[in-house]
Amino acid sequence: HRWLRFSLLFLGVFSLYCATSADNSGVKKMKMQFATGPLLKFQICSYAQSCRVFEEYMQALNQRYPDIRIEGENYLPMPLYRHIATFLSTFKLVVIGLIIIGKDPFALLGMQAPGVWTWGQENKIYACMMVFFFSNMIENQMMSTGAFEITLNDVPVWSKLESGQLPSMQQLVQILENEMKMNVHMDTLSPHRS
């Protein structure tokens, strides 16, 4: 009976860990593979709205400028916030595990269990759900940057962090037109070597 309880606990904690673990070590990238021209890079906050806007812009820009290479990647928050989110993710799993197996961590510290812990032991499902969702809310807040940064050939052309807003498609097209005209003009001014 004890072995079954431990197995279920391990399976539950492992499932929660797999479901909530974020890929902080690498940066997820989305690329248009076939273009060979200038590189337009988007660094975005990983919220659904930013991803949707990026995909819409990528499709429209790819149709208008087929030679531009377009990449998108997550704009990571400061390392301190990433570490806090990682700690909370692990701490959440430990608390859920303690709730499930019914261990009182306060007794180990020689303290009386607070009322909320007693309530959690009497209402394990609700307590686990509350810990899970509350922790996820804080983790998401720590990982949120609100970024929508755009560079053309590693030169910044738009920053939502500085401007406070997303560029409209018309603004983005105008910026690209201006940058490309300037690049063509600079290419004609530079001496060609034979």
Question: Are both 15 and 88 inside the same structural domain?
Answer: yes
Helix (H) or strand (E) holding 146: none
Q: How many angstroms separate the CA atoms of 121 and 115, rounded?
A: 10
Range of the domain at 68: 32-76+164-194
Sheet with 69-74, strands from edge to edge, namely 29-31, 69-74, 39-44, 148-152, 155-159
Q: How many angstroms separate the CA atoms of 31 and 53, rounded?
A: 15
* Tokens of residue 84, six digits: 């806090």
- Grouping H, G, I as helix, E, B as strand and the rest as coil, residue 153 is coil
Domain total in the chain: 2
Structural domain contains residue 179: yes
Please list, in sequence order, all residues whose beta carbon lies within 8 angstroms of the beta carbon of residue 167, skipping any fewer than 6 positions away: 148, 150, 158, 175
Question: Are both 11 and 38 inside the same structural domain?
Answer: no
pLDDT value, residue 97: 94
Question: Are both 12 and 43 inside the same structural domain?
Answer: no
Q: How many angstroms separate the CA atoms of 131 and 137, rounded?
A: 10
Question: Are both 101 and 18 inside the same structural domain?
Answer: yes
pLDDT value, residue 33: 47
Question: Are both 50 and 69 inside the same structural domain?
Answer: yes
DSSP-derived secondary structure letter, 165 = S
List C-alpha distances in Å: 148 to 175, 186, 192. Answer: 15, 28, 37
Question: Are both 52 and 69 inside the same structural domain?
Answer: yes
Q: E strands along the chain, which residues? A: 29-31, 39-44, 69-74, 148-152, 155-159
Question: Could you identify the residue written with the tokens 């720590």?
Answer: 142
Alpha-carbon dihedral sign for residues 86, 89, 95, 101: negative
pLDDT value, residue 50: 78
Structural domain contains residue 1: yes
Structural domain contains residue 120: yes
Q: How many angstroms separate the CA atoms of 2 and 119, rounded?
A: 23
Q: How many angstroms separate the CA atoms of 19 and 35, rounded?
A: 35
Sequential pLDDT tens for the chain (194 residues): 556 566 566 656 665 555 555 444 334 445 444 546 788 999 988 776 778 888 888 999 988 888 888 998 889 889 999 999 999 999 999 999 999 999 889 988 889 999 999 999 999 999 999 999 999 999 988 988 888 999 988 889 999 999 999 899 999 999 888 887 776 655 555 555 44
Question: Are both 116 and 133 inside the same structural domain?
Answer: yes
Angle at 50 between CA 135 and CA 86, to 5 degrees: 25
Question: Could you identify the residue written with the tokens 């820009």?
Answer: 61
The pTM assigned to this predicted structure is 0.62
Question: Are both 100 and 10 inside the same structural domain?
Answer: yes
Question: Are both 107 and 18 inside the same structural domain?
Answer: yes
Structural domain contains residue 152: no
